[in-house]
A and B are shown apart, each in its own frame.
Chain A
C-alpha cells in the first residue's frame, strides 16, 4: 500500500470533514465552584470539595461562563435555547474527579449556527455549526516511569487544577464542498474561532497552552461522476484525530489523514472508524480507541443543577455586546491602515493584528507600528520561541519608541538599542534612552570636535573631499558615528564635514 500525496488524494476523492473545537473560558473561577481558573499553578492547589468530587459536594453553575457561552454562540450565529440542561457523561477515569463529566447532551445552550471564514485569497467559505455547549474540563494525568504513557508507567499522578475549568465545545456540521482546499478551510475555521474568542475576551485563545484545542474528523468518498450530484454520494468511514493543537498541525493532520485514507481505499482496504492520536514530531497519526468498542456514556440530565434559562432580554443585551466579526474587522483595518494584502496576511499570521491596532491607538503611524512588530519584535519572538504577545513589551512602549524617533530624539539604530533595553526589563523606552544615554548628539560643538578629530586622523580623505569627491565623506561620517557610539545624527555630521572641508553642500 503506497501513501499518496494530499494533492493526489484530493484528485481521486471528495473529502468530508468536521471539527470539534474546545475553548477554555477565561472566567475568574471554575465552571461549578469558586476555585481560581488559572493556568500553571502548583498541582492540586486550585481545588475544593466540589472540583475534587468529594462525597456530598455539589456543583453550582458559573453565570459568567454561561454568559461567555451565549456570547460565543451568538457570534457563531447560533440560536440560544430558552431552556437547556446539563447532563452527566459517565465514565471512569482517574482525572475525572466525580467519574462523570458535567456536560450538555441533548439540549445544548447554543445550536444551529454558521460561520463565514475568509481564506488567504479572500474567498469566503461558510461552515455550518451544529452546536456549542458548555462542559467542565478534566484534570491532568502524568505518567511516571516507562515511556511516559499510561502503559508500563511505574505510577501516575493526577493534577485536578484543570478539573472543572469551563469549556465551550463547538461542533461543526459535516463540511462538504471544500475539496482540495479542505486543509486550508479547516485551518482558517479554527483561526477564526480563535480570533472570535479573543475578540470576545472570553478566552485567551492560546492554542499552545491548550486553551483552544481541536479534534478533526475526516472521511473520503468517491468523486461523483460527471453530471452527477456529489451530495448524493454517501459519506465514507471517518477518523477522528484528537488534540490537534496548532493551526499548522490542523493542516498537516488533514494532509496526513487524507493521504493515509486514500492509500487504504485505493488498496481496497477499509478505513476503520476510530479516534486517532496526532504526533506533532512525525506529522502522522496512530490509532486510538476504536469506535466499535466505544463506551456507553449513560447520559442523563444532571439532577444537581437547574436548567439554564436565559431570558430573551438578556440574550439580546448580550448580542449588543458582540465585537465586530474578525474578517470584517480585518477588511476595515486593512483599508484604514493602507496595508497591502501581504502586509495584512503576515500580520494576521503572526498574531500581530491587535498589537498593531493597540500601537496605532497609542499614537504610532500604522506602518511604523507594523514595522516594529513584524520586524525587530517578530525576530526576537522567533529567537525566544514565544508568541509576540508574550514579549515583555507593550503596544504603548512601541508607540513611545516610535514617538522618540519621530521627534528626532533618537534615530532608528538607537531605537533598536532602546528596544533591547525595554525587552531586557530596563524600563520604558524613554527610561532606557535616559539610563543608557542613547539620545542623538545634537550639540554642534561636540560634533564639530569629533569631525575635526576624524578629519585630522584621515588627511587623505579630507583631500579627496576638497577635491570634489564628496562621497568620500562617508568614511568620516562612519568614524564620527563610531566615536559618538552611534548617537549622532548622520545627516548633521555630513553637513558639518562639508562645512569644515570648505565645500558647502
Chain B
C-alpha cells in the first residue's frame, strides 16, 4: 500500500484527479502520521482532525459529482499559528492568546478554504515569531525531525518540521527576517518569502509590519509554486498589498526543470560567506553553484557592503514596530487577563505573565528605540541603513538576475545551545534579513547535508521585487540537478522517526 504522506502535493493532486486516492484518505494518512510522531516532533499546537476531514469529504463529493476543482483541492495543509483562523484557536505561540478563537479569517486562510484544502491544524512557532529556533514558543519547542535534539529553525519551526516529518505536504509560513527560509534550510525543505505585498498580511498577527510577509513552505519547489499562487494576489483589506497579478510561479518552475539556464546570470554575494560559515555549508553551496553552471548559468560575484549593518538595523526596526504592534495585547478585549485593582495594573500584570522573555526583551528594546530623544539615532538611522541595503541590491541586480548565498551560516544547532546568547541566535538570520529590509523575494531550498554532521544545508536565491517567478525557475533547475545526483529529494534521506504505537 502506498504511503501517501511521502508524495509531493503535486503528486497528491494528480492522484486524486486520477481517482487513485481520495482527499479523505490523504487527510487521514496525515492525521495518522501526526498522531504517530508529533508527540516527539511537536510541530502542531492544535490539530483539527474533524474540520480537515469535513473539508476532505466535501472535496471528494464534489469531485465525484464532476465539479471543477481548484488545483490543490483536497491536498491537506498545515497553517502557522500566526494566521487567524475563524473558530480554530490562534495563539501566535503566546500564552497571552491561549484559548483565543478568532471571530474572523485571515485573507490567506480564506484563500486556503476557497482552494478547498483541508487544514490539518496550527503549527508551532516562536512567540509572535520572535526567534530562530521555536524554543521561544509559549507551548514548548518543536524538534528537528533530522535530529530530535536539534532546533527546527524559527520562527516557523513547526511548519518546516511538519513537512520534514511527513505530517503535512504543504504549510503556511511567515517571514520577517528569515522565519520561512531559515527553518526550511535546517530541515531540508523549501521555503519562500514572496515580494513584500505579494501576499496579503490581513489576519496575520503582526510582528514588524514593514518586514512581515506570508509565504509557502513545501518539500519541493513545484509544490511551493502551487501554494504561492493560491496565497498571492491583491487584497483590498491590506493597504500594502501589491495591485498586480500573481506571479506565474508554477510555469517558472516547469521552465526551470525543462530548460537550461543559458544567459542567466547568478550573483554570489561576497559578504555572505567566510567567517562564521560552517565548512560543510559552504561546500554544498559551492557544489550547487557548479550544478547551475553546468546547466548553462553564468556565475558572477557581487558585493553588498551595507549588509554589515543589516542585522543591527533589523534589530532596531523590528522591535520598534513590534513594541507598537503588541500593545493591543492588553487584556481588555481578548486573551489572557490577570485581574488587578486598576486597569493599568491589570494591563501590566497580564503582559508580565502572558509574554515570554524574548518578547519582553524586544518590546523593551523597541520602546526605547522609539523614545523621544532616541528616535533619530536608532529608528531613524536604521531606516537609512535600510535605504543603503536597497541600493546595494539595486546595484547587485544590475550585474545578476538573481543573487545567491547559503541560507544559514550553519546546520541546525542543539536545543538550548543559544538560548542564553540572544546575539548568537540572531546571527543565524544574517543571510536572510537583508531581503526583508529591501522587500525583495527570497527562497531557500536544500543543497544537501553537511559532511561533518549529516545535517541539512540550505541554498538561498534572491530576486528583484516583483520577480518572484525567477526564483522558481532557478530553484527548480537546481532542485532537479540535485535530485538527479541524490536519486530523489533530500527529505528522503532523513532518518526515519520512531513511530508511536
**Hey, which bits of chain A sit against chain B, CB under 8 A?**
49, 52-61, 88, 90, 92, 94, 97-100, 156, 158, 296, 298-300, 303-306
B237 touches A60 (CB 8 A): yes
* Max chain B C-beta neighbours (<10 A), residue from A55, A57, A94: A55
A94 touches B204 (CB 8 A): no
B102 touches A56 (CB 8 A): yes
Given A53-B328, A98-B328, A158-B332: A305 in contact with B106 (beta carbons within 8 A): no
A44 to B, closest residue via Cβ: B333
The 6 A-B pairs with the shortest beta carbon distances in the complex, nearest first, are A99-B327, A303-B209, A298-B370, A303-B210, A56-B203, A56-B84
B97 to A, closest residue via Cβ: A55
* Max chain B C-beta neighbours (<10 A), residue from A56, A298, A300, A305: A56
Interface flags, B72-99, vs A, CB<8A=1, else 0: 0000000000011000001010000100
How far is the CB of B196 from the nearest CB of chain A, in Å?
11
Task: Give the chain B neighbours of A90 by CB distance below 8 A.
Answer: 323-324, 327, 370
What's the Cα separation between A54 and B334 when bound, in Å? 8
Given A54-B334, A56-B102, A56-B202: A300 in contact with B239 (beta carbons within 8 A): no
Task: Give the chain A neighbours of B104 by CB distance below 8 A.
Answer: 49, 54, 57
B94 to A, closest residue via Cβ: A55
How far is the CB of B81 from the nearest CB of chain A, in Å?
11
A304 to B, closest residue via Cβ: B209
A296 touches B239 (CB 8 A): no
Task: Give the chain B neighbours of A88 by CB distance below 8 A.
Answer: 324
Interchain residue pairs with CB less than 8 A apart (24): A49-B104, A54-B333, A55-B92, A55-B102, A55-B328, A56-B106, A56-B202, A56-B206, A57-B203, A58-B201, A60-B237, A60-B238, A60-B239, A61-B239, A88-B324, A90-B327, A90-B370, A97-B333, A156-B343, A298-B370, A298-B371, A299-B375, A303-B321, A304-B240
Q: Is B459 located at the chain interface by the 8 A CB criterion?
A: no
B202 touches A57 (CB 8 A): yes
How far is the CB of B459 from the nearest CB of chain A, in Å?
30
Q: Is B236 located at the chain interface by the 8 A CB criterion?
A: yes
Q: Is B59 located at the chain interface by the 8 A CB criterion?
A: no
What's the Cα separation between A289 and B239 when bound, in Å? 36
Given A54-B104, A60-B236, A298-B370: A99 in contact with B328 (beta carbons within 8 A): yes
Q: Is B472 located at the chain interface by the 8 A CB criterion?
A: no
Interface of B is mostly: loop
**Hey, which bits of chain B sit against chain A, CB under 8 A?**
83-84, 90, 92, 97, 100, 102-104, 106, 201-206, 208-210, 236-240, 320-321, 323-324, 327-330, 332-334, 343-344, 347, 367, 370-372, 375, 379
A54 touches B102 (CB 8 A): yes
Given A92-B347, A298-B324: A56 in contact with B333 (beta carbons within 8 A): no
Task: Give the chain A neighbours of B210 by CB distance below 8 A.
Answer: 303
What's the Cα separation between A185 and B72 when bound, in Å? 69
Task: Give the chain B neighbours of A298 by CB distance below 8 A.
Answer: 323-324, 367, 370-372, 375
What's the Cα separation between A57 and B103 when bound, in Å? 11
How far is the CB of A375 from the nearest CB of chain B, in Å?
52
Picked from B97, B103, B347, the residue with its CB within 8 Å of the CB of A49 is B103
B373 to A, closest residue via Cβ: A296
A94 touches B327 (CB 8 A): no
Picked from A55, A300, A304, the residue with its CB within 8 Å of the CB of B205 is A55
What's the Cα separation between A184 and B392 when bound, in Å? 60
